[in-house]
Amino acid sequence: MLPHVVVPSILAAFLIPEWHLSGAQAGLLAGSGAAGYMLTVPVLATLTDRIDARRILIAGSALSALGTLLFGLFATGLWSGALFNAMAGMGFAGAYMPGLKALTDRLAPGDSSRAITLYTSSFSFGVGLSFLVSQLVAEAWGWRSAFFVTAAGPLIMFAVCLLLRPVKPAPAPGRLLDFAPVLQNRNAMGFVLGYGAHCFELYGIRTWIVAFWTFVAARSSDASILTPIVVSVVFSVLAMPASILGNEFALRFGRHRAISAVMLASATVALLIGMLADKSPWLLLPLVLVYAITVPADSGALTSGMSMAADPSYRGATMAMHSTVGFSLSAFGAWAVGVALDAAGGPQNSSAWMAAFSVLAAGILLGPVALYWSRRETQ
């Protein structure tokens, strides 16, 4: 996870001014990693139904490191940066869902909800570490050094993968990219589409949280300790306990009901932040911290719900659909927020942040709609 948000981490302070990027272009650059992921994950995740996911995890980790290094060495503008970031995203496609499949293939029989939630919530801890390391290294040694340092993360994962015991999956029926059984599983597809809404909001705010808090801090003289580094790291790290607690909440009160409640709360908080974007950071900070909890609180419950609703013979294909939809909307979320900022006057304008957070709220509100649709279809 170490290179995962290195591009969003350095956008506001380095890449936007140096490469003269608009909001939409910055969103496109940040979203290119998710786009590369989305293009590759259908094949790689589906392959895990046929070969040991560990082998894909090894190749994906190597490609992730390579794309990260190439960005640091050769990126000179929007298109070269997007190319190398997409390459890193393709490598991550061989790491995240295949990593989850490698985990579930090695779990003892029984309810895997908590184990899957721990895995997905660890994603957020990795994002927080990525925000922290990327910004500290970029400020100390320049933005290119951030890519060189963070590329070490997937190389360590490469070595760890070699220590995993081999597992041979059961023979999978059907063709390699046969998604018809997945699309026909309405219960699983409800979680998949809900995950798409979640990813739209999550990646949208992760791409722009540093730029937003840069705007907030610049308007106040008493926010010296509330730097963009501190806020972005805390925002990301809070996601891990939030995701675990969200899944426990779902187990206790019902998965559909709990996820929908979290999504509605998240949309409400997003709109409040947008309305108060030009106010004191001490007023905004509690809202941002609440948002740091509501945004990821549905993640573990959505992913574990998808895994448990999937046909065991098509679990890899279902995970592929889950990731394809999720990361497609991740890329769209990063870009859509940038477009909203441009349309409303740019990131130095408080009304632009109202527009940006309204886009995030609108995206997450589609989640309860998807869950209601799937529940109606399965009743």
Give the helix ranges, DSSP H, for the chain.
6-10, 16-19, 23-47, 53-74, 78-93, 96-105, 113-141, 143-150, 152-161, 180-184, 186-218, 228-237, 239-253, 255-275, 281-294, 299-309, 315-343, 350-364, 366-378
Q: pLDDT tens digits, residue range 299-349? A: 888 988 998 898 887 877 888 899 889 989 999 999 999 999 999 999 999
The reply to whether 239 falls in a domain is yes
- In this prediction, residues 172-186 reach a mean pLDDT of 78
The reply to whether 55 falls in a domain is yes
The reply to whether 341 falls in a domain is yes
**Beta carbons of 133 and 152 less than 8 angstroms apart:** no
What Rg do the C-alpha atoms of the chain give, in angstroms?
20
Locus of tokens 């399965």: 378
**Beta carbons of 88 and 40 less than 8 angstroms apart:** no
Predicted pLDDT at 173: 63
- The one-character DSSP state at 164 is S
| Least confident residue range of 17-26, 118-127, 199-208 | 118-127
Residue 286: which CATH number? 1.20.1250.20
Chain-centroid distance of CA 113 in Å reads 20
- In this prediction, residues 22-44 reach a mean pLDDT of 92
Tokens of 18: 């140096």
Instruction: Give strand ranges (E) for the chain.
Output: none
Q: Closest by alpha carbon to 336, among 305, 368, 369, 358?
A: 358
d(CA 376, CA 379): 5
Domain total in the chain = 1
Residue 212 CB partners (closer than 8 Å, separation 6+): 277, 347, 353, 356
**Beta carbons of 308 and 113 less than 8 angstroms apart:** yes
- The one-character DSSP state at 15 is I
Q: What's the per-residue H, E or C state across 103-155?
A: HHHCCCCCCCHHHHHHHHHHHHHHHHHHHHHHHHHHHHHCHHHHHHHHCHHHH
State yes or no: pLDDT of 289 exceeds 70: yes
Q: pLDDT tens digits, residue range 54-113? A: 999 999 999 999 999 999 999 999 999 999 999 999 999 999 888 888 887 887 766 566
State yes or no: pLDDT of 256 exceeds 60: yes
**Who has greater pLDDT, 131 or 116?**
131
Q: What is the pLDDT of the chain when averaged over all its residues?
A: 90
Tokens of 251: 């187990």
The reply to whether 173 falls in a domain is no
Predicted pLDDT at 118: 78
**Who has greater pLDDT, 240 or 302?**
302
- In this prediction, residues 274-292 reach a mean pLDDT of 94
**Who has greater pLDDT, 225 or 309?**
309
What SS3 class is residue 268? helix
d(CA 243, CA 134): 24
**Tell me, what amino acid is at 340?**
A
Domain encompassing residue 125:
6-164+180-378
**Backbone φ, ψ for residue 349 (5° rounding):** -115, 130
The reply to whether 246 falls in a domain is yes
**Beta carbons of 322 and 180 less than 8 angstroms apart:** no
State yes or no: pLDDT of 154 exceeds 90: yes
The gap between the terminal CA atoms of the chain, to the nearest Å, is 39
State yes or no: pLDDT of 161 exceeds 90: no
Predicted pLDDT at 224: 64
The reply to whether 191 falls in a domain is yes
pLDDT bucket at 10, cuts 50 / 70 / 90: very high
The reply to whether 267 falls in a domain is yes
- In this prediction, residues 120-137 reach a mean pLDDT of 87
Predicted pLDDT at 379: 47
The reply to whether 10 falls in a domain is yes
Q: What percent of the chain has pLDDT over 90?
A: 61
**Tell me, what amino acid is at 9?**
S
Q: pLDDT tens digits, residue range 85-95? A: 999 999 999 99
Predicted pLDDT at 98: 87
**Beta carbons of 324 and 24 less than 8 angstroms apart:** no
